[in-house]
Amino acid sequence: MRSVNRKNVGTLPDFNNFCIKRDGKDQWDGNCIEEYDRYKGVAEMMPFAKAVSAKTIDFDEQGNCQETDYYRMLTIVKDAGFKGYLGIEYEGDKLSEDEGILKTKALLEKVIATFS
């Protein structure tokens, strides 16, 4: 990103897109068998972020994301000085898309409130 050096080019850190290797026939097929550290990846992308994607797949009984520690992840986003948009994605199959998005939004609001 530094070598591109253009204001209109940046990154979109996504809390859950750090699969390096899958067990399927191509890069998009199968289960992830090797993953890059999501927290390190987001931290590395934050200086160039134009937006951030808060993605969830599953929730525990308290409404927390099971695959990502949102307190830790949003601390990385906050510490980077990010003031842009947080997009919401739900890729799970236990809730409807609308329910998953609303539950992710509620989680974001709960975590962000602890920063005040």
- pLDDT tens digits, one per residue of 26-77: 777 788 889 999 999 999 999 999 999 999 999 999 999 999 999 999 999 9
Per the model's pLDDT, the better-predicted residue between 45 and 8 turns out to be: 45
DSSP conformational letter for 55: E
Kindly report the pTM of this predicted structure.
0.90
Identify the pLDDT of residue 73: 97
pLDDT at 32: 87
Instruction: With cut-offs at 50, 70 and 90, classify the pLDDT of residue 1.
Output: confident
Q: How far apart are CA 67 and CA 89, in angstroms?
A: 13
| DSSP 3-state of 60 | coil
Structure tokens at 33: 């068998």
Confidence of residue 102 (pLDDT cuts 50, 70, 90): very high
